[in-house]
Amino acid sequence: MSRRDIAKKKISKYDPLCRSQFVNMLVNRMMKHGKKSLAYQIFYRAGIDIKKNTKKNPIPVFRKALLRVTPKLIVKKKRGQKGKIYRVPIEIPFSKGSLLGIRWLLTASRKRLGTSMASQLSAELRDAAFKKRGKAIRKKERTHKMAEASRTFAHFRFNS
């Protein structure tokens, strides 16, 4: 009997303390060399730092920062007629956009000056959530500007 018909739906896991899929995605992205417990410690320390500085719950702050950083459009390279390569703006689903947003938040926090990764991450989350600035926000704005500039090539989206 063929197993081709049976497709198991992949269920994304939740963070044990916060019960959030996005926190689990962030921790998995932050993790290096398989040290997940260290990545969780870094995130929870960043949450404590956010709570101390803003007097707000860190999980909604993280969600707000992620929503502000998540792009709605990206630019892909597509080959047009006669071999020319065009930058084509493409709308992406929220799941892929949130993955990009998490990646941008982590790279921006790693490039930030600070004493520890927890303080760098908390500073980047606070800037993205409350002040609408930071390297991750700038990356999103730059991506949207490129997509807006390449809007004339949107008809190449359907050609492949």
pLDDT of 78 higher than 70: yes
Domains of the chain: 21-157 (1.10.455.10)
What is the predicted pLDDT for the residue at 3? 63
Burial grade of 81 (CB within 10 A; 0-12, 13-18, 19 or more):
exposed
**pLDDT single digits (tens) 109-158:** 999 887 899 999 999 999 999 998 899 999 999 998 988 887 767 666 65
- Taking the C-alpha atoms of residue 2 and residue 35, their distance in angstroms, rounded to an integer, is 38
pLDDT digits (tens, 9 = 90+) for 1-20: 566 666 666 666 877 787 88
Q: If pLDDT is split at 50, 70 and 90, which confidence band does 67 have?
A: very high
pTM of the model: 0.82
Contact 100, 74 (CB under 8 A): yes
| CA 7/CA 126 separation, integer angstroms | 41
**Predicted local confidence at residue 5, as pLDDT:** 62
Q: What share of the chain is helix, strand, coil (3-state, %, to 5)?
A: 60, 10, 30
- Burial (CB < 10 A; 0-12, 13-18, 19+), residue 5, is exposed
